[in-house]
Structures are given as C-alpha cells and as structure tokens.
Structure 1
C-alpha cells in the first residue's frame, strides 16, 4: 500500500475514526485504525465492537493495499504535521511497519495484519430514510443532556428514537430521561421512516453522530433495524448497535394537569439560577423558587456557606407557590430554549414541573422537584 494525501483531508478522516477507539483496550487490534487504499481514495475504519465508523478521503494511490496502525498515535502525528503538507504513507510489509513522510518529517509505526481486524455483522434494516442534518442535530442536542449515567439502568443510557402518535399526526420523536428530568422532542416524520422500530441510541453513538451534523442542509441517510442503526453521508458511514432493553413508558411521567403558568426570559432565568446557586453545596444544589404575581424570587440557603436571593420580573398570575429544584437541572433545561421565552407549568410543590419553549409544543421538558 502506498498513497499521497493532503494533510487536512487525512486529519479529517482520521479524527472521525480515532474518536471511536477506546483508549484502554485488552484486544490490541481494537486500538488500531484499518486503512485500505484503492482506486482514487483511502478508507479509514475503526471500531470498539459496538460502533463502527468508516471515513473515506480522496488520495493519489500508487499501490493498493491495506493495513492497521495505532489510531491514536497516527492521529497525533497527522495533527502535528504542518498545514498544507502533502503526506506520503507507505506500508513496508517485510518489516511490518507503516512509513509516514511529510517534508522533512518521517515516522515509522508498527502495524498489525488487516485480516485480524474485526468486521461488524451486517444487518437487514427494516427502515431506510433520509433526514436533514439540522433535524437530527436538534433531536439529539435537546435530549442528550438528560441521558442517564447509571450503568445499572442501562436502558436509560441513550436517546430513545421512535415514531410516535401526536396531535398533529405521526412524529419522529427522541426522548431521554434519567429519572430526575426528561426531554421529549418531536420532528416531522421523514418519508420512509413509518416502519422504523423504536431503538435506544447509546450515548457514545449520539456523541459521534453529532460530529456528522455540522452542515445544516446535508442529507443524512439513516437505516434502522431492531439491533443496529446506521448514519451515512457521502464520505462517512457510522454503524452502531442499539441498547438491548425496553425504554420505560415515559408518557406516564409527563404531567397533564399543571395549570400554574410562568413565563420568563430563558437567559435571564438561567443566569439568575447560576448566581444564587454559587453559595449552595455541590451535593444538593437546591434552589427555591417563590412565585407571586408577576414576580419570581430565587433563593438558596446553605448553612455551611451562606445564602443568596434574587428577584426577577416574570409573567405569572396564579396563586403563590414555593417549589425547589436542583440548580443544575434548571440550568440545563433553560439552556435548551432557542426562543426568548421559557414557559413553565406547575401544579404544586410536590409534583414535577413541565417546561416548553414559549408556545411551541414540539419540545417539552419535565423536571422533578426537591425538598428545600
């Protein structure tokens, strides 16, 4: 194998691949990226046995072939090469090495046989459709903060993507929850997605897919089966296993009877929560909200360090209410608001609160209260 490639193109391709590789591996080949040169390009493949990513780049191929090399080490070398450099990569099969040359820089890395590189089993996808990158990005960005990190509740360690019945017809829906807060976001159902099975996309996959979605107008080809999900652009294909578990009936925890309505500037609210939470202990981070007519008072009382209080003008016309929340959860939910106003709906101090962006019902958030 021997090819020449622009440093920028090589870095883009290797960056996406090496991000999948786990830093600590008991299986040496999993720390490597598989390079295969053929025709007018090179493909880079990496896997952790749950996710597989293939990135293609245009190159001048002098000698077709393939080998594997340390993904992290190769990425670091390419990253540190000067901008605009032409990188020459050649395999020395006799020595079991990969030679990398750029200008006066030369590196020689150990390789492992490409035949040992694991291949992810193929899958028969029951749904194949195309979706704009901006739509997928919104679904993932507005839900991933609520993904659970508890390994024992593995079925909550991802975003549940499915087709849901809604007032406006069938929707393409993403949901995440950790039991303390919940995010539910809807989008128009893409053509071809009607038969999509509900799948739980793991957190790591969500983070990796997010890197494919920088171009708003790009069309992402999505394929879904009961066990796998695949996202593809013309240059990159990411295939992932989905979490083998049943996502809970999230509709049961979305409050329906909350009638006390608070409208507040989302950015002002998030900043006020952040300021008063400064004095709270990291362990609880509880903030009390005291609602009165067109007035919201946020307060924190931390016996060990002090207390804080701030008042902000809001639109609120219901009876007085005092309710406590985890400050971090409030800030994360408020950060999801793209519109100017956030609308909170409360019932009483012991019931979960519901938040949406103004009057937009396509994204709703639920947060459980705390005792303060």
Structure 2
C-alpha cells in the first residue's frame, strides 16, 4: 500500500479514530485504525467493539492495500507535522511496518494485519431518515447532562432516543436520567422515522457524534435497528 494525502485531511480522519479506540485494553488490535486504500479514496475505521467510526478521504493512491496501525501514535505524528504538508504512507505488506513521510520527517510504525481487525456484525436497519444537524445537536445538548456515569447502571449510560406521542402528534424524543435528574427534549418527527425502534445512544457515542454536528447546513442520515444506530 502506498498513498499520499494532505496533512489536514489525514489529521481529521485519525483524530476521529483515536478518540474512539481504548488506550488501555487487552486486545492490541483495538488500539489500531484500519486503513484501506483503493482507487482515489482511503477509508479509515476504528472501533472499541461498542462504537465504530468510519471516514473516507480523497488521496493519491499509488498502490492499493490495507493495514492497521496505532491510532494514537499516528495521530500524534500527524498532529505535529507542518500545515500544508503532503503525507505519504507506505506499507510493503511484508515487514510488518508502515512508514510515514512528510518533507524531511520519516517515521516507521509497527502494524497488525487487517485480518485481525474486528468486523462488527451487520444489522437490518428498519428505519432510515435524515435530520438537520442543528436538530440533533439540540436534542443531545439538552439531554446529555443527565446521563448517568455509574457504569453498573449501564441502561442509564446514554440517551434514549425514540418516537413518542405528543399533543401535536408524533415527535422524536430524547430522554436521559441518572436517577436524580431527568432530561426530556422533543423535536419534530423526521420523515421515515415513525417506525423506528427506541434505542439508547451511549454516552461515548453522543460525545463523538457531537463533534460533527457543528455545521448548521449538514443533513445527518440516521439508520436504526433493534440493536444498533448509525449516524
């Protein structure tokens, strides 16, 4: 695998990846980001087995391929590279290492094979809809403060997003509680969301999702199943 990508684009992708991976875990592959290069795109994927984040970026792919590398280490390297730098990632597929080059800087990082990277089970999404970023931002901002931080009460460690009845008809409702405080906030029900099953969006997912909801013009595609929600 060999590709070249703008530093700012790479930084955005690895920033999202490193914020999801667990820095302390007994499964080494979970500390890594999966990088897959093909055509004119490079795909990044990271997971802690509860959350999976994926990103796609445009790159100059000289040789297609895939590998995994420490998300935190790669992020630290890219973060310190100069603005405007063109970063080249090279993995020969045999040495178990990937090189990161930008100008006079050259780094060599250990890799793990793509085959070790966990694949989250696919899900049959029963509801698919689109919601404006400001709507989701308001729903989560007004409810996340009440999420419980007590890990033993896992069913309170998130925001319950569901369809509910209101005086004006059906609404999209978010509820959170820590047993002492209760937050409830409603929004107009998006088209296509009426039959969605209720899901608990975990605290960590809310925090990561919140980072991409700043653009007021962005439309967020949401897919929901009995066990998963995808944004």
TM-score bracket relative to the smaller structure: over 0.9
Q: Does 1:7 align with 2:7?
A: yes
Inter-partner Cα distance in structure 1 for 2:137 and 2:206 = 10
2:46 equivalent in structure 1:
46
1:115 equivalent in structure 2:
115
**TM-score in terms of structure 1 length:** 0.61
Please say which structure displays the higher CA radius of gyration: 1
What is the CA-CA distance between 1:179 and the residue it aligns to? Answer: 1.5
Inter-partner Cα distance in structure 2 for 1:180 and 1:213 = 28
Inter-partner Cα distance in structure 1 for 2:224 and 2:166 = 21
Q: Does 1:138 align with 2:142?
A: no
Inter-partner Cα distance in structure 1 for 2:134 and 2:217 = 7
Q: Deviations over 1:40-62 (max 9, x none)?
A: 11111000011111111110000
Q: Secondary structure at the residue paired with 2:115?
A: helix
Inter-partner Cα distance in structure 2 for 1:183 and 1:191 = 24
Q: Deviations over 1:272-321 (max 9, x none)?
A: xxxxxxxxxxxxxxxxxxxxxxxxxxxxxxxxxxxxxxxxxxxxxxxxxx
- 4+ runs deviating over 2 angstroms: none
1:62 equivalent in structure 2:
62
1:286 equivalent in structure 2:
none
Inter-partner Cα distance in structure 1 for 2:145 and 2:23 = 24
1:226 equivalent in structure 2:
226
* 1:1-372 superposed matches below 5 A: 1-231=1-231
Q: Secondary structure at the residue paired with 1:19?
A: helix
Q: Secondary structure at the residue paired with 1:125?
A: coil
Inter-partner Cα distance in structure 2 for 1:35 and 1:76 = 17
Q: Secondary structure at the residue paired with 2:84?
A: coil
Inter-partner Cα distance in structure 2 for 1:135 and 1:116 = 38
What is the CA-CA distance between 1:94 and the residue it aligns to? Answer: 2.5
RMSD: 0.7
Inter-partner Cα distance in structure 2 for 1:154 and 1:198 = 16
Q: Secondary structure at the residue paired with 1:174?
A: strand
Q: Which runs of 5+ in 1 are unaligned?
A: 232-372
1:270 equivalent in structure 2:
none
| Corresponding pairs, count | 231
What is the CA-CA distance between 1:92 and the residue it aligns to? Answer: 2.5
Q: Deviations over 1:113-136 (max 9, x none)?
A: 001100000000110000111100
Q: Deviations over 1:152-206 (max 9, x none)?
A: 2211110000001011111000011111111100000000000011111110111
Inter-partner Cα distance in structure 1 for 2:77 and 2:110 = 14
Q: Deviations over 1:191-232 (max 9, x none)?
A: 00000111111101111111121111211100001100000x
Inter-partner Cα distance in structure 2 for 1:183 and 1:93 = 51
Structure 1 contact 157–203 (Cα < 8 Å) conserved: yes
Q: Which runs of 5+ in 2 are unaligned?
A: none
Structure 1 contact 163–173 (Cα < 8 Å) conserved: yes
Structure 1 contact 92–99 (Cα < 8 Å) conserved: no
Structure 1 contact 89–100 (Cα < 8 Å) conserved: yes
